[in-house]
Chain A
Amino acid sequence: MKRGTRTALVAAAIGAMLAFAGGAFAANTGTVAVWHTPMVLGGSSSTTIHITLPQATDPIAAINIYVPAGYTLNTSQAPGTNIGSVDAAAFSHDNNLTLPLSGTVTTDAPANHVADSTACARTATSAAVWILNLSVAGQTIALPLYVNPTAGAEQGLGAYKLSICLPPPDVPIGTPGRSANGAQVLDAKFTVNGVFTTPTAGGILRWESLFTPYNPGQGTVNLAGTFETRSLVSLPVNLTLAATVKKGKKTAGYTVKGKFSEGGVPVSGIGVTIVRGPSASRLTKVASPQTTAAGTFSATGKVAAKKTTYFKATASAGQRDFTAQGCVNPLPATVAPAGCVSATLPPLSATSIVVKVKS
């Protein structure tokens, strides 16, 4: 996985894969989840990309992640700039152990990566090269990620392409180009800051990813095994809140209502925490309703009369499997011969505005 590591033309692949329509494929799978912090429109904040690959999936030779149209990328950072962090796990075939890896994400000069960029991203000079510095116990693997605008047929998949190529981990020890320690990536989550600006128009944004595996134990690329995964990023994420009171002599009844949505679509079955208090900074939990199928929620209660009360709602959801609905209309077999294997909805976290009422 060192720089310049061989990659066997893989990612290249879209064109070449046209020849492999309908090829046989094993039960390989993986996921990509993408999210932003915060999940807003037109924002330039942090973006996290989380890749998971079961150990039973054939070792992966190349990953190409397509950034949907509407995003803009800032690739103007000087070489050596720290733009984020990475956490990963890899299974070491040599040690029969899973290794935790972590480190920084830094930029490098594309001119330093002509050969490896050509092999992995099919362009001698990538628009940007990010280095995922994966460390454990003082050893660091510098894994390049190539960033390029798409061209030609690939533009249908996204406006930009992020390409990572990995060396084979399961070929005999001593084989040139074998990954260090026979490391097979199982999980990689990296966050970059100030690079992506989200689109200004709301809706569901489909991040397509193509994974191309190796033929197990051979170190040769299995183009026919290329499979598709999708991460469906819905923007913006909104959590609304409104409160009303029914005034009484000693106490007042209140009702708070709101709606949780992503990309204008209701988020259902999610727990919402409602807090209230005498000031915006002194709030305690008073209710935790679930969102309905329409994404709505409500809660009622009583407060003392003639007081000002503040309310706020928070809600969060973990990464969600969305394969059944999200893999409808997969990419053609000429592009992803092994089909669409997963679709995910990213983790969500939202906080409403603070509302105040007088009872």
Chain B
Amino acid sequence: MTRVLVALAAAALLAVPAAGARSVDTPGVTATQIVLGGTGPLTGAESQYQPVLSGAQAYFSYVNDHGGVLGRKIEYKVEDDQYDPAQTVSLTQKLVEQDNVFAIFNSIGTEHALAVRDYLNQQKVPQLFVGTGAATIASQHKQYPWTIGLLPSNLGEGAIYGHQIVATKPNAKIAVLYENDEYGQELLAGLKRGLGAHVKQIVTTQSYALLDPTVDSQVQQLKASGADTFVIFALPKQAIQAFVIAAKLGWKPTEYVTSVSIDPAVMQIVHLNAGAQVGVGATSTAFLRDPTNPTLAGSPGVKLYRQIMQKYLPNEDWKAVAHIYGMMAAYTMVDTLKHAGKNPTRASLLNAATHLNEINPFLLPGLPISTSPSNYLPLGKTFLVRYLHGYWNVLGKPLKTS
């Protein structure tokens, strides 16, 4: 189902130092097994990201039950860092030095990835498909060639909203709520870039800190600005609060919300707390197939997703988009492993990871996974989506995020 660039097989693989060589010398690879490692918050306050890991684990189980990758079963060792970068460091070192993993895959968190990036690059351990769209990951690949992200660029996503506002509401008075870290700041910078000459139409911005209990006061101030367009660059909890508080204040702006906050549960909670009409018409971006959207239920990707969830995670929440994200990432990892050769090495794995041209069934159609040695942004396109009739519906054609 997937493929790398045709050229890869001929040219790139030949350049791989260990192609066809002794896999016995490659950490984490035996004749029957490939061991991957990852870190993430399995417990603690941020454990909502845990399905990203369990979704990937489930996909690997599915692959293993269908023969594995070129005859090898994948073992995915996941360590619980409780979303604490200090723990990410020690646990990643353990995975590399004690568990001898082949590569680090699908670890969660931008700061967490950055905390181990130097170490992994020094060790020449592939740090693959980090769940982040941070510019620092995608743009510093010359300095850190062993580290590749996966999510669309935050800057690009922000720019898409800017373009859309200019195209649909050129006189908009824009209020922005954003997280006061690299993630929120990059989205805001992208929005400004997309607005171009209209950037002065941002009448006010308010930031919040991740541990703030609410964003009530910020939303009140944003409303007081007289803005008619509300851009929410916030994680799900704060995005829900923003929708609910705006509704309770009687504020009815045109709403934009970042793609990390469009899990079906977000609007479900918004509606339960503020009414069924709140959030209807909001705009976001999406790249994953929403398994709860009935128009996608018959697609092979969603069918496969439901099948895997039913078999390997029967008691977990199949409606959570984080699960399908994890499977999407694992699919790309399996594809990469397949193209790393029969006797893979870390170098051949990196080479395969930087020559991807894949159709991933868990992504919306029209969004390829594509990389090259000079392109470390696997997801270079995404879709605008609008919340109508209970689902996020795709608008138009794929848009570039790079």
Please give the residue numbers on chain A whose beta carbons come within 8 Å of chain B beta carbons, in ascending order.
Answer: 82, 89, 94-100, 102-104, 106, 131, 133, 135-140, 142
Q: Do B316 and A138 touch across chains, with their CB atoms under 8 A apart?
A: yes
Using A137-B48, A137-B320 as known contacts, say yes or no to A100 and B265 having CB atoms under 8 A apart.
Answer: yes
Using A138-B51, A138-B323 as known contacts, say yes or no to A97 and B244 having CB atoms under 8 A apart.
Answer: yes
The answer, among B213, B265, B273, for a CB contact under 8 Å with A137, is: B265
B236 within 8 Å of A (CB atoms) = yes
State the Cβ distance, B43 to closest chain A Cβ, in Å.
Answer: 10
Using A106-B315, A135-B320, A138-B322 as known contacts, say yes or no to A97 and B240 having CB atoms under 8 A apart.
Answer: yes
Kindly list chain B residues whose C-beta atoms are within 8 Å of the C-beta of A102: 317
Measured in the bound complex, the distance between the Cα atoms of B314 and A106 in whole Å is: 10
Measured in the bound complex, the distance between the Cα atoms of B216 and A96 in whole Å is: 11
Measured in the bound complex, the distance between the Cα atoms of B244 and A97 in whole Å is: 9
Kindly list chain B residues whose C-beta atoms are within 8 Å of the C-beta of A100: 265, 268-269, 272
B334 within 8 Å of A (CB atoms) = no
Interface hits, B261-282 → A, CB 8 Å:
263, 265-266, 268-269, 272-273
Kindly list chain A residues whose C-beta atoms are within 8 Å of the C-beta of B320: 135, 137-138
Using A96-B214, A98-B273, A139-B47 as known contacts, say yes or no to A133 and B315 having CB atoms under 8 A apart.
Answer: yes
Kindly list chain B residues whose C-beta atoms are within 8 Å of the C-beta of A133: 315-316
Measured in the bound complex, the distance between the Cα atoms of B314 and A136 in whole Å is: 15
Q: Do B314 and A104 touch across chains, with their CB atoms under 8 A apart?
A: yes
Measured in the bound complex, the distance between the Cα atoms of B318 and A102 in whole Å is: 11
B237 within 8 Å of A (CB atoms) = yes
Measured in the bound complex, the distance between the Cα atoms of B241 and A137 in whole Å is: 15
B50 within 8 Å of A (CB atoms) = yes
Kindly list chain B residues whose C-beta atoms are within 8 Å of the C-beta of A94: 213
Measured in the bound complex, the distance between the Cα atoms of B213 and A133 in whole Å is: 27
State the Cβ distance, A25 to closest chain B Cβ, in Å.
Answer: 30
Measured in the bound complex, the distance between the Cα atoms of B49 and A100 in whole Å is: 18
Measured in the bound complex, the distance between the Cα atoms of B124 and A207 in whole Å is: 65
Using A97-B240, A138-B51 as known contacts, say yes or no to A103 and B315 having CB atoms under 8 A apart.
Answer: yes
Measured in the bound complex, the distance between the Cα atoms of B319 and A252 in whole Å is: 56
Interface 1/0 per residue, B354-391 and A, CB below 8 Å: 00000000000000000000000000000000000000
Measured in the bound complex, the distance between the Cα atoms of B322 and A209 in whole Å is: 38
Q: A95-B240, A139-B317 are in contact. List 8 more A-B contacts (CB 8 A).
A: A82-B314, A97-B273, A98-B272, A102-B317, A137-B48, A138-B51, A138-B323, A140-B317
Measured in the bound complex, the distance between the Cα atoms of B315 and A131 in whole Å is: 10
Q: Do A99 and B269 touch across chains, with their CB atoms under 8 A apart?
A: yes
Using A104-B314, A133-B315 as known contacts, say yes or no to A138 and B50 having CB atoms under 8 A apart.
Answer: yes
Measured in the bound complex, the distance between the Cα atoms of B241 and A98 in whole Å is: 11
Q: What are 8 pairs between A and B in contact, CB < 8 Å? A: A94-B213, A96-B214, A97-B241, A97-B273, A103-B315, A106-B314, A138-B50, A140-B315
State the Cβ distance, B320 to closest chain A Cβ, in Å.
Answer: 3
Kindly list chain B residues whose C-beta atoms are within 8 Å of the C-beta of A97: 240-241, 244, 269, 272-273
Measured in the bound complex, the distance between the Cα atoms of B240 and A98 in whole Å is: 11
Interface 1/0 per residue, B156-191 and A, CB below 8 Å: 000000000000000000000000000000000000
Among residues of A, the one whose C-beta sits closest to the C-beta of B50 is A138
Interface hits, B198-221 → A, CB 8 Å:
213-214
Q: Do B266 and A135 touch across chains, with their CB atoms under 8 A apart?
A: no
State the Cβ distance, A191 to closest chain B Cβ, in Å.
Answer: 16
Kindly list chain A residues whose C-beta atoms are within 8 Å of the C-beta of B322: 137-138
Interface hits, B228-282 → A, CB 8 Å:
236-237, 240-241, 244, 263, 265-266, 268-269, 272-273
The answer, among A135, A136, A140, for a CB contact under 8 Å with B269, is: A136
Among residues of A, the one whose C-beta sits closest to the C-beta of B274 is A97
Measured in the bound complex, the distance between the Cα atoms of B130 and A298 in whole Å is: 69
State the Cβ distance, A315 to closest chain B Cβ, in Å.
Answer: 29
Measured in the bound complex, the distance between the Cα atoms of B236 and A142 in whole Å is: 22
Kindly list chain A residues whose C-beta atoms are within 8 Å of the C-beta of B49: 138
Among residues of B, the one whose C-beta sits closest to the C-beta of A89 is B272
Measured in the bound complex, the distance between the Cα atoms of B123 and A123 in whole Å is: 54
Measured in the bound complex, the distance between the Cα atoms of B320 and A100 in whole Å is: 13
Kindly list chain A residues whose C-beta atoms are within 8 Å of the C-beta of B272: 89, 97-100
State the Cβ distance, B100 to closest chain A Cβ, in Å.
Answer: 30
Q: Do A136 and B315 touch across chains, with their CB atoms under 8 A apart?
A: no
Which of B272, B315, B321 has the most C-beta atoms of chain A within 10 angstroms of its own C-beta? B315
State the Cβ distance, A178 to closest chain B Cβ, in Å.
Answer: 12
The answer, among A104, A135, A137, for a CB contact under 8 Å with B236, is: A137
Measured in the bound complex, the distance between the Cα atoms of B265 and A139 in whole Å is: 11
Kindly list chain A residues whose C-beta atoms are within 8 Å of the C-beta of B315: 82, 103-104, 106, 131, 133, 140, 142
Measured in the bound complex, the distance between the Cα atoms of B321 and A61 in whole Å is: 33
Q: Do B48 and A139 touch across chains, with their CB atoms under 8 A apart?
A: yes
State the Cβ distance, B305 to closest chain A Cβ, in Å.
Answer: 14
State the Cβ distance, A3 to closest chain B Cβ, in Å.
Answer: 12
Measured in the bound complex, the distance between the Cα atoms of B385 and A214 in whole Å is: 45
Measured in the bound complex, the distance between the Cα atoms of B317 and A82 in whole Å is: 14
Kindly list chain A residues whose C-beta atoms are within 8 Å of the C-beta of B48: 137-139
State the Cβ distance, A141 to closest chain B Cβ, in Å.
Answer: 11
State the Cβ distance, B237 to closest chain A Cβ, in Å.
Answer: 6
Q: Do A136 and B265 touch across chains, with their CB atoms under 8 A apart?
A: yes
Measured in the bound complex, the distance between the Cα atoms of B308 and A109 in whole Å is: 24
Kindly list chain B residues whose C-beta atoms are within 8 Å of the C-beta of A138: 48-51, 263, 265, 316-317, 320-323
Q: Do B317 and A137 touch across chains, with their CB atoms under 8 A apart?
A: yes
Kindly list chain B residues whose C-beta atoms are within 8 Å of the C-beta of A136: 265, 269, 317
State the Cβ distance, B353 to closest chain A Cβ, in Å.
Answer: 27
Which of A97, A106, A137, A138 has the most C-beta atoms of chain B within 10 angstroms of its own C-beta? A138
Kindly list chain B residues whose C-beta atoms are within 8 Å of the C-beta of A135: 316-317, 319-320
Kindly list chain A residues whose C-beta atoms are within 8 Å of the C-beta of B317: 102-103, 135-140
State the Cβ distance, B276 to closest chain A Cβ, in Å.
Answer: 13
State the Cβ distance, A158 to closest chain B Cβ, in Å.
Answer: 29
Interface hits, B35-86 → A, CB 8 Å:
47-51
Among residues of B, the one whose C-beta sits closest to the C-beta of A134 is B317
Which of B236, B263, B316 has the most C-beta atoms of chain A within 10 angstroms of its own C-beta? B316
Measured in the bound complex, the distance between the Cα atoms of B213 and A135 in whole Å is: 22
